[in-house]
Amino acid sequence: MPTKSIATHDTTNEASPEQAAGTTNGAAANGSADVVELDLTDPQFMATAYDTYAKMREEGRVARVRFARPENETEEEARRNAFFRRDTWFVTHYDDVVETLLDDRFSVDVRSRAAAEDGKEPEVPEEFRPLARSLLTIDPPDHDRIRKLVQPSFTGRTMNAMRGKIEEIVNDLLDKAEQAAAERGETAPNRRLELVEALAYPFPVTVISDLLGIPREDRERIRGWTENLLRVDRARDRGMNEEVRAGLREFTSYLQELFERKRREPTDDMISNLVQTAEDGDILTEEELLATVFLMYLAGHVTTVNLVGNGVVALLTHPEQWARLTADPALAKNVVEETLRYWGPVDFVGRRIATQEMDVAGTTLEPGEEATVSLAAANRDPAKFANPDAYEITRPDANRHVAFGKGIHVCLGAPLARTEGQVAFETLARRYPHLRLAVPADDVTWGGSFLRGFRQVPLLF
C-alpha cells in the first residue's frame, strides 16, 4: 500500500461505486488506499498534530494511518511489534468518534483480533504484561467485573470529600516553592518556579499515592522506575528502553510485596480494599490486581500533570483568559473543561478491533480490522464547536469534549482529574494573579511522551 504525506494527499482519484454511495470497503481499501504515516517519535509531531488532524478531517470521515517504525528497531523488536503496527482506520469527526467509542461490537482485546486471523497472540515482554491486561485492554465481562470493584474509589462524591485534602497538598507545595525562592533571594512577582517539578507532578502523585496506600517513603523510588515509561523517544534510545524495562520489573516486584503487606496489615486505602474485599463473589486475581494498581497509579497522576501544565500555558498565552480567571477564580471549573477540549492529554485512542463486519464513518470494516479514534480531532471539529481553535474559558459547551473518552472505557479517574485541575487553577489564580511565563512561549515545548504535555513550564510568580 502506498504511503503518503498528509500534505500531498491526492483526493482527485475517480470514486469507486462504494465511495459514490458514501461507503468504502475496508478490505478493498487496504490494498489500494493511500496511507498517512504518523511518526510519534518525531520531536515536532505534537507541535504540528492539530494541523495534521484538521487536514485529515477535511479530506474525509476516516483516513488510513500507519504509525512509523523507529529507525533503530531490531528485527526481533519489529517481529514482536508487528501486530501493533498494522494500518488502522483513523476516525476524526466528532459524531463518528462518539459513535465508534460507544459501539459494543468493537473489542479492545488484541486476542480477539488474533482469533479472527491466525490465532497467534502478539508477544508481550513479561514486564509489560500488567499494562497489556489492564482495564484499558480487556473486554466485558472481565472488564465490568474489575471496574465494579474499583469504581467506588473514583466517584464524584468521593472526590468532593477529598477536595479539602487536595487543597492542602497544593498549598503546601506552593508554600515550599515560595520558601525556596526566598532562600535564593527572589521576591514577588519575579520569583522563579518550574511548574511541572514544583506542582504539576508532585501534587497528583501525592493524591493518587495516598488514595492507593503507597507509603510516602517509597514514592521517590517509584518515580525513578516509572517516569520514562511514556516517553516515545525511548524507542530510539536502547539504553533508556532497557532502563524502563528494568524499572517496571522493580515496580512489579515492589507492588507484589506491598500487596502481601496489605493483606497482613490492611489500612484505610484502595489497595487494602482490593486485596481484602470480595463483592458478589468477584475478587481480583493477582494478575488483575497488579494490572489494576499499575494503571491506577500511572493514569491517576499523568493525566493531571498534563492537564495542569497545559492549562497554565494556555491561560498565560491567552492573557485575556488569565485575566478572566483571576477576576473570578470560580471559573476554574470552566478552565478544566476548555483545557481538556483544547489541549487534552490524550490525542487518540487506538486498537478498537472489529469483531464483525461493520460500518465506521462510511467505511466497511472486516472482522479483525482496527479503528483508531482521534479525541483531539473530535475536540477541534468545527461541526461541533464554534471557532474550535480558540481557547475560551467561558465556552458554554466545552464540557461536550471527549478528552476522557466515552462508553464503558471512559476514563475511570475523570472525577479525580477534574477536581485536581479545579483546585490547581483556582489556587494559582488566587495566590499569584501576576503569574507569567519566564521564557518566550515558543520556548515552552511539548515533552517527548505519547501523551500531550509540556516537559517544563518555567514561570515567574
Average pLDDT over residues 44-55: 95
pLDDT the model gives residue 11: 33
> What are the angstrom distances between the C-alpha of 283 and each of 148, 294, 297?
10, 17, 20
pLDDT, one tens digit per residue, over 436-447 is: 999 999 999 998
Contacts for 229-236 with beta carbons within 8 Å, 24 or more apart?
Answer: 229/298, 230/298, 230/302, 230/449, 230/450, 230/451, 231/447, 231/448, 231/449, 232/40, 232/41, 232/448, 232/449, 232/450, 233/41, 233/43, 233/448, 235/41, 235/70, 235/73, 236/41, 236/70, 236/71, 236/72
Candidate ranges 138-147, 383-392, 450-459; pick with highest mean pLDDT: 383-392
Backbone φ, ψ for residue 62 (5° rounding): -135, 155
Instruction: List beta partners, residue 62.
Output: 91
**pLDDT for 63 beyond 80:** yes
Average pLDDT over residues 400-421: 95
pLDDT the model gives residue 112: 60
Report the alpha-carbon angle 111-85-233, nearest 5: 120
pLDDT, one tens digit per residue, over 198-219 is: 999 999 999 999 999 999 999 9
Q: Tell me how far apart the alpha carbons of residues 254 and 260 are, in angstroms, rounded to a whole number.
A: 10
> What are the angstrom distances between the C-alpha of 126 and each of 131, 289, 296, 354?
10, 16, 19, 27
Q: How many other C-beta atoms can be found within 10 angstroms of the C-beta atom of residue 128?
A: 13
90: three-class secondary structure by DSSP = strand
Report the alpha-carbon angle 300-306-307, nearest 5: 85
Contact 237/243 with Cβ under 8 angstroms? no
**pLDDT for 237 beyond 60:** no
> What is the pTM assigned to this prediction?
0.87
Using omega within 30 degrees of 0 as the cis cutoff, is the peptide bond preceding 141 cis? yes
What are the E-state strand segments in 19-104? Answer: 24-25, 35-38, 62-67, 88-91
- Angle, helix 286-316 to helix 319-327, in steps of 10 degrees: 100
Q: Tell me how far apart the alpha carbons of residues 154 and 43 are, in angstroms, rounded to a whole number.
A: 34
